[in-house]
Chains A and B, each alone.
Chain A
Amino acid sequence: MDMNSISGWLQASVRLAASLMLVSVGAVYTERVGVINIGMEGMMLAGALASVAASFFTGNIVIAAICAMAVGGLLAILHAYITVSRRASQLISGFAINILALGATNVGYARLFPTERARVATYPVLSPPELRAVPFFGEVIFAQPVIVWIALILPLVSAWVLYRTSWGLNIRAVGEHPHAVASVGLSVYRLKYTGVILSGVFAGLGGSALAMADLGYFAPAMTGGRAFVVLAALIVGKWNPIAVAAACMLFGAADALQLRIQTFGAVIPYQFPLMVPYLLTIAALAGLVGRTAAPKTIGKPYDPEII
């Protein structure tokens, strides 16, 4: 492989990783407060449709992003209500939200755009042409749309909040010892709701990035399991925002690789790089690649009366 095809591959890797990284920002918070959110797949899908529709009807990309985040956040409130307030199964709620979003986006998309695929503007590239002409970095970083930059910066912000602020400490504590958090007078419910809602908001934004970073359209079921890749990244990255983002980058690179194999052909079948994130996660879970330790109360409902 020559230099050009390597930087081309890296550019695609970063772009494909961007939507995963955006989803991962919120995913870390929901699992840190002890709530698994499998429904992020559906929230991503709903966010993708919401942003394309908003962009189509308003022409404003900021409104599109806000709509995506709002729709994801609303679905997350539903998830939080079922799992935190009602203490029902997080898995059932998550899968139900996925099925709901799949059905609702299909119905909504066919209703909004009955005749042809709606094309909308993509997120703009903000850097001046001189920067884009810089060899290698110009292509891999500066030629990327603004949403990719946001995706690259957010994990750093998220890590700072989680490890350097007292609110981040509360978030980390509530998934480990909710009763201890309650005993110092903090609201466990509020922290849990916040964590879950953040995951929906960023899943929605991730969906928006998926549809509008470079495609500029929505397609039914277009997320294709990407939120599950993020769940895999959480395990591989041990719930640390930066490590999780790095895992997302790795999985994005695998995705970019398989696209290249599909286009240019190679010795290995294109399906194999796609399996990598999932197999790597199973290896991590089985203890073959380091040890992983999930937040202690993950998946369990919080009942203030039962310690």
Chain B
Amino acid sequence: MKERKAITFNSLGEFLIPLSRPLLAIVLALTVSAVLIWAAGANPIEAYAAMLQGSFGSVAALANTGVRAAPLILGGFAVGLGFKAGLWNIGGEGQIYLGAAAAAAVGIIPLPVPAWLHLLLTVMAGFVGGVLWMLAPAYLNAYRGVNLVCTTLMLNYVAGFFVSWLLHPPSPLAETDTHFPMSPLILPSARLPILIEGTSLHAGLILAVVLGVVLHVVLRYTHFGFRTRMVGENPEAARYAGIGVTRQIFLVLLICGGLGGLAGAGEVLGLKLRLFDFFAGGVGYEGLALAMLANGNPLGIIVGSVFFGSLKAGATKMQIVTGIEASLALVIEALTVIFVVAIGFGERVRLTRQKQKKSRA
């Protein structure tokens, strides 16, 4: 009887501590950033009040937060799904570019199909673009054992330059007679619908959240999800249990690439309405941070993305009020991550000690 009580207490602790870790990290990050704001000559309380107002203070502010969160959610999934299988997809940035390029390519062609089908095809093109970009690193990693981190990282820059090339004449994707490299406008039939009139909140957010729920269910309740988690937790045991580890890794990586592609497609079809060069600006890397904060959990990634999105939306308002560069949002994001990993070690030690105690008992 006594023992059972102890176990419930432990599992409650194990449930609460992963939650409290990011919260503590956020508080610490905001505290350090407050010092930076003060050092930069502004009032931290005033700055944070402006951020809060700019991110959650009105319908327009909420819409802004949503717009910023959408690509982060999908970019986070692109990394987080890999985490579940023990894989590090650092190539979110590149997959975003290629997904966006593929979506733009389909989105500017007037197809003789109904509008909903055009949109569907365009979104799917975004997924396929990401998958294709992941093909080489996925194959090399799954079948040849080549380091995934290095290949996906290197391909990010290739993707950036590739898209830049696509946007310069004589490429068919390049708009003619412009000063800046960009694609022609996405046709209205291929655009993601606006959710709230007068804001730029588009259906990409819904797509992201729905995919998050799907991903959660797949990971938790399907054979595919079970195999994925097993490969992530113990590939040797998975192989022993008859799971095709190589094939599973290959498939999971391709889906990761596709999710990254969707993040890029959403930005082009919902917000920017054109493909620009170097538009991603680090969203792929922020996705990596989010996946780490949420430990790959899709619902956690959504919550984290809303937080990062609110920082970005709020920082714009803060810049208007206090004059401090909106990039401060990046500083707060980075500090949150740094504090989480710095606190994380203590937790791991605590857990291993607990395990040792248990095994001794």
Chain A residues with a Cβ under 8 A of chain B: 38, 78, 81-82, 86-89, 91-93, 95-100, 102-104, 106-111, 225, 228, 231-232, 235, 269, 271-272, 274-275, 278-279, 281-282, 285-287, 294, 299
**Segment of B182-190, B253-261, B332-340 engaged in the interface with chain A:** B332-340
Known: A92-B337, A98-B285, A107-B325. A285 touches B147 (CB 8 A): yes
Cβ-neighbour of B328 out of A107, A274, A285 (below 8 A)? A107
A103 lies within 8 A of B154 (CB): no
Q: Give the chain A neighbours of B341 by CB distance below 8 A.
A: 82, 86, 88-89, 92-93, 96
A285 lies within 8 A of B150 (CB): yes
A-B pairs, top 7 by smallest CB distance, nearest first, are A103-B330, A106-B327, A100-B334, A88-B341, A103-B331, A278-B154, A271-B161
* Complex-state Cα separation, A278 to B158, whole angstroms: 7
B149 lies within 8 A of chain A by Cβ: yes
Chain B 44-62, CB-CB to A under 8 Å as 1, else 0, gives 0000000000000000000
Q: Give the chain A neighbours of B140 by CB distance below 8 A.
A: 282, 285-286
Majority secondary structure, B binding face:
helix
**Segment of B2-10, B162-170, B262-270 engaged in the interface with chain A:** B162-170
Contacts A89-B292, A107-B36, A285-B147 supplied; 10 other A-B pairs, CB < 8 Å: A38-B153, A78-B338, A102-B282, A107-B327, A111-B40, A111-B325, A225-B157, A269-B168, A271-B164, A272-B161
B88 lies within 8 A of chain A by Cβ: yes
Q: Give the chain A neighbours of B344 by CB distance below 8 A.
A: 86, 88
* Complex-state Cα separation, A235 to B155, whole angstroms: 15
B161 lies within 8 A of A104 (CB): no
Q: Give the chain A neighbours of B162 by CB distance below 8 A.
A: 271, 275
What's the interface size class on B, roughly? 35 or more
B100 lies within 8 A of chain A by Cβ: no
B328 lies within 8 A of A103 (CB): yes
Q: Give the chain A neighbours of B329 by CB distance below 8 A.
A: 103
Q: Give the chain A neighbours of B334 by CB distance below 8 A.
A: 96-97, 99-100, 103
Residues 99-156 of B contacting A (Cβ, < 8 Å): 136, 140, 144, 146-147, 149-151, 153-155
Residue of A nearest to B144 (CB): A286
* Complex-state Cα separation, A93 to B161, whole angstroms: 26
Cβ-neighbour of B149 out of A91, A99, A272 (below 8 A)? A91
Cβ-neighbour of A82 out of B332, B333, B342 (below 8 A)? B342
A279 lies within 8 A of B335 (CB): no
* Complex-state Cα separation, A100 to B32, whole angstroms: 12
* Complex-state Cα separation, A58 to B332, whole angstroms: 30
Query: In angstroms, how far is the closest chain A Cβ from the Cβ of B71?
Result: 15
Known: A99-B333, A103-B334. A92 touches B292 (CB 8 A): yes
For A92, A281, A287, which residue has the most chain B Cβ atoms within 10 angstroms? A92
Cβ-neighbour of A100 out of B144, B150, B154, B335 (below 8 A)? B335
Q: Give the chain A neighbours of B155 by CB distance below 8 A.
A: 278, 282
Q: Give the chain B neighbours of A232 by CB distance below 8 A.
A: 154
Residue of B nearest to A89 (CB): B341
B345 lies within 8 A of chain A by Cβ: yes
Query: In angstroms, how far is the closest chain A Cβ from the Cβ of B256?
Result: 15
* Complex-state Cα separation, A247 to B259, whole angstroms: 34
Query: In angstroms, how far is the closest chain B Cβ from the Cβ of A125?
Result: 32
Query: In angstroms, how far is the closest chain A Cβ from the Cβ of B265?
Result: 22
Q: Give the chain B neighbours of A82 by CB distance below 8 A.
A: 338, 341-342
A228 lies within 8 A of B154 (CB): yes
B302 lies within 8 A of chain A by Cβ: no
